């Protein structure tokens, strides 16, 4: 489909199609079939989907509230979990909206796309680290809590021409708002009242937030790669790297990045934004990438896993410990970690985890 056909494809009728809602329900249920509320909804899925379709088409659907909880690894975050019915709507909307928005993304924009997860992002970082002498590593300060609703909605409606579908976008966008726990940033022509009154923030936990967050920084990607013609660039959500052999050029780009982010009412995390020599190592997605060498697992990543392994071992939860060890081995085998994995395979882990480790080592 061309651009005009894609815009016409994103309609409320397509979002609320029975086949699309069934597909969305299967995706939302994946990995959560052990939860009683999910299984209760799934047993009544035919009637629930028809009721949901009617509510979407008649305009009576309203998002329910979020369940808020705090996680502390890898850092402290407030997670907003929507009810299962709302998650079905989020998946149904993304099934229709993602093909429209992803056409805009540059090839080196990673996260929440098929075949462009952390593994692909790390491989791209490894190749660029071996090719260039320096890297400008940038991180956006409080990215998801700081996304401006008005700017995001204006961007989305450039690609969603159906008024009813745009109304659904606005409803989901307005169902969450960052509170006073994250102070707003101030930009030119702002005053205290206007900055506090501007709706901002996407809930960490919504599928729509991941897609919209990626789309929100798409203009920055095109500015770097097209306007500035700097192709040695990659981004994973709000963490992005600019490679080069000229440090002065990278610092010039850093000033331009600040201006581009200010137009989106975002700012850089200055303590995490700096120019590094690739020979000293580039920390990215849990690994440290070294020029001409295989990457290593970051020390903080190893400490988090060790803490989790001890906690699950003491609790006696064999199932979760087995899953955690299996995930660790799959993750760490991408790095130069043969000795590290061998050391863990000889530790006194529980029987279920040990058998899974042995299968990986074969």
pLDDT one-digit tens code per residue, 9-56 = 789 999 999 999 999 999 999 988 888 999 999 999 999 999 999 999
pLDDT tens for residues 61-72?
999 888 888 877
Laid out side by side, the sheet with 134-139 consists of 109-110, 233-236, 239-244, 134-139, 274-277
Q: What is the pLDDT of residue 313?
A: 79
Q: How confident is the model at residue 305 (pLDDT cuts 50, 70, 90)?
A: confident
Q: Is the pLDDT at 361 greater than 60, yes or no?
A: no
pLDDT tens for residues 99-113?
889 988 999 999 888
Q: What is the pLDDT of residue 350?
A: 43
pLDDT tens for residues 199-235?
999 998 899 999 999 999 999 999 999 999 999 999 9
Q: Give CA angle at 229 (228, 233), nearest 5°.
A: 95
- Lowest-pLDDT choice from 153-157, 163-167, 179-183: 179-183
Q: Is the pLDDT at 351 greater than 50, yes or no?
A: no
Q: What is the pLDDT of residue 3?
A: 63
Q: Are 302 and 340 in contact (CB under 8 A)?
A: yes
Q: 176-184: which pairs have CB atoms within 8 A and are 24 or more residues apart?
A: 176/66, 176/80, 176/201, 176/202, 176/203, 176/206, 177/149, 177/201, 178/145, 178/146, 181/78, 182/142, 182/145, 182/146, 184/146
Per mean pLDDT, which of 2-6, 190-194, 285-289, 323-327 is the most reliable?
Answer: 285-289
Burial of 202 (0-12, 13-18, 19+ CB in 10 A): buried
Separation of alpha carbons 17 and 332, rounded Å: 42
**Mean pLDDT across 317-327:** 81
Q: What is the pLDDT of residue 334?
A: 83
Separation of alpha carbons 235 and 221, rounded Å: 8
Closest CA to 24 of 9, 45, 39: 45
Percent of the chain with pLDDT over 90: 57
Distant-in-sequence, close-in-space partners of 348: CB < 8 Å, separation ≥ 6: none
Q: How confident is the model at residue 155 (pLDDT cuts 50, 70, 90)?
A: very high
Burial of 34 (0-12, 13-18, 19+ CB in 10 A): exposed
Closest CA to 172 of 156, 184, 159, 185: 156
Number of C-beta neighbours around residue 46 at 10 A: 10
Local structure of 62: helix, strand or coil? coil
pLDDT tens for residues 73-97?
667 788 888 999 999 999 999 999 9
Residue 65 phi, psi dihedral angles, 5° rounding: -75, 170
Helices (H), the chain: 3-9, 12-15, 18-29, 36-43, 45-58, 84-102, 118-131, 143-146, 149-157, 163-173, 192-197, 207-216, 218-222, 247-263, 299-315, 318-332, 338-345, 351-361
Q: Is the pLDDT at 187 greater than 90, yes or no?
A: no
Mapping DSSP onto H, E and C, the string for 100-122 reads HHHCCCCCCEECCCCCCCHHHHH
Closest CA to 97 of 171, 162, 35: 162
Q: Is the pLDDT at 348 greater than 60, yes or no?
A: no
Residue 109 phi, psi dihedral angles, 5° rounding: -100, 115
């Amino acid at each position: 489909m061309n651009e005009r056909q894609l815009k016409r494809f994103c309609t409320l009728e397509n979002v609320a199609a029975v086949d699309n809602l069934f597909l969305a329900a299967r995706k939302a249920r994946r990995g959560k079939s052990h939860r009683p509320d999910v299984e209760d909804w799934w047993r009544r899925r035919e009637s629930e989907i028809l009721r949901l379709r009617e509510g979407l088409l008649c305009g009576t659907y309203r998002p329910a509230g979020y369940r808020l909880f705090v996680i502390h690894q890898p850092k402290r975050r407030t997670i907003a979990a929507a009810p299962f019915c709302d998650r079905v709507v989020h998946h149904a909307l993304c099934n229709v909206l993602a093909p429209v928005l992803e056409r805009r993304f540059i090839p080196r924009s990673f996260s929440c796309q098929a075949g462009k997860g952390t593994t692909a992002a790390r491989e791209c970082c490894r190749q660029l680290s071996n090719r260039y002498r320096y890297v400008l590593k940038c991180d956006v300060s409080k990215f998801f809590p700081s996304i401006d609703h008005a700017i995001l909605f204006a961007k989305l409606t450039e690609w969603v021409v159906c008024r009813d579908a745009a109304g659904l976008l606005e409803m989901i966008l307005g169902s969450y708002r960052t509170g006073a726990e994250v102070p707003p940033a101030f930009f030119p022509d702002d005053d205290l009242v206007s900055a506090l009154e501007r709706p901002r923030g996407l809930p960490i936990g919504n599928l729509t937030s991941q897609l919209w967050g990626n789309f929100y920084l798409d203009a920055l990607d095109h500015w770097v790669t097209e306007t500035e013609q700097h192709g040695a660039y990659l981004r994973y959500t709000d963490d992005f790297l600019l490679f080069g052999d000229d440090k002065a050029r990278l610092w010039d780009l850093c000033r331009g990045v600040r201006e581009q982010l200010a137009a989106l009412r975002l700012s850089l995390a200055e303590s995490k934004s700096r120019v590094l020599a690739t020979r000293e190592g580039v920390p990215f997605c849990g690994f440290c990438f070294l020029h001409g060498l295989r990457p290593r697992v970051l020390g903080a990543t190893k400490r988090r896993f060790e803490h989790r392994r001890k906690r699950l071992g003491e609790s006696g939860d064999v199932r979760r410990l087995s899953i955690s060890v299996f995930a660790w081995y799959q993750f760490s085998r991408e790095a130069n970690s043969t000795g590290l994995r061998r050391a863990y395979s000889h530790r006194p882990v529980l029987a279920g985890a040990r058998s899974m480790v042995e299968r990986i080592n074969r």
